[in-house]
Amino acid sequence: MWKTARIGGLGALALILVLAPLGFPNAYFYDIAVKALFNAVVCIGLNLLIGYGGQISLGHAGFFALGAYGSAILTVTYKLPALPAMLLSALGVGVLAYLIGRPILRLKGHYLAMATLGIGIIIHIVLKTESGLTGGPDGMGVDPFSVMGFTMMGDRMWYWAAAALLVLAVWLSLNLIDSPVGRALRAVHGSEVGAEVVGVDTSSYKVMVFVVSAVFASLIGSLFAHKDGFITPDIGSFFRSVEFVVMVVLGGMASTFGSVVGAIILTLLPQVLTVVEDYEAMVFGGIMMGTMIFLPKGLLPSLVAGLRKRGGAAQ
């Protein structure tokens, strides 16, 4: 039952991703779509931590930025090929997340939020200050992504790569959730003490998802750097971290597809809201509040529950 639903979901997602470009009249639409899909992958990783692990992180943009700058510096300054640079950056971020994850994941709730926020801000400050390496607040240019003579050019090519990546990420996430690890995580979320009592090594599971989510962010950060061709420390700011969390929560915590929906909607929203001009911030904030007040479980889970209810009533 669970297996078929999973395959069905993946199939539907793949189908939407294949059909969506039919509605894209120009490269700008592809560009926005790529950004939405990139964010979706980061959010899938973050959702493992927030939705399933029950641990908040207000510093994930820091890992995203480290991935981006890692790739940028290794390829531009040290002339490394893009793929090893990306993997090396992700490895570095993974190790960093492991090292800081162990002590800080002992913290709970708002204290953990503070600690992750602090780490994100420290990363941001380092990127801003070490201008010899990073170009400082005004940013640095990055070369296009190329593997063995093949160069990723244009928004269309990036779209298909991002779409493939998203399907892969969703598949990985669904499998992880369905594995013993996932069950242990849900136990941690439900009651950490309870989980410990029945013999779950909660801290190592928490650290594991923290590392996985950081690596997701780093990999996407690397790709983002190559795609946009120009990065500034701004991509690692506190606001971006908050943005990722909002995407996850708005879409629906503990729902992989919910994270995808949340990421896509919040990436598109600012583009749509340009029509309200000066009222953009008000409308945006209002939508955020309204969604969380009326659909506290997030968009997708509430929607699914609503449909079920209606279906049930009809029968």
* Distance set, CA 1 to CA 7, 147, 315 (Å): 10, 40, 21
| CA pair distance 13, 19, nearest whole angstrom | 10
Write down the least CB distance from residue 209 to another protein, Å. 16
| CA pair distance 163, 34, nearest whole angstrom | 8
Write down the least CB distance from residue 74 to another protein, Å. 19
| CA pair distance 186, 202, nearest whole angstrom | 10
> How many degrees, rounded to 5, is the angle at CA 225 between CA 136 and CA 149?
125
Write down the least CB distance from residue 108 to another protein, Å. 7
Write down the least CB distance from residue 297 to another protein, Å. 8
Closer of 88 and 118 to another protein (Cβ): 118
Closer of 105 and 176 to another protein (Cβ): 105
Closer of 16 and 91 to another protein (Cβ): 16
**φ and ψ of 48, to 5 deg:** -60, -40
Write down the least CB distance from residue 98 to another protein, Å. 16
Closer of 87 and 297 to another protein (Cβ): 297
Written as six digits, the tokens of 189 are 């979320």
Closer of 92 and 144 to another protein (Cβ): 144
Written as six digits, the tokens of 77 are 């300054």
| CA pair distance 37, 83, nearest whole angstrom | 20
DSSP for residue 101:
H
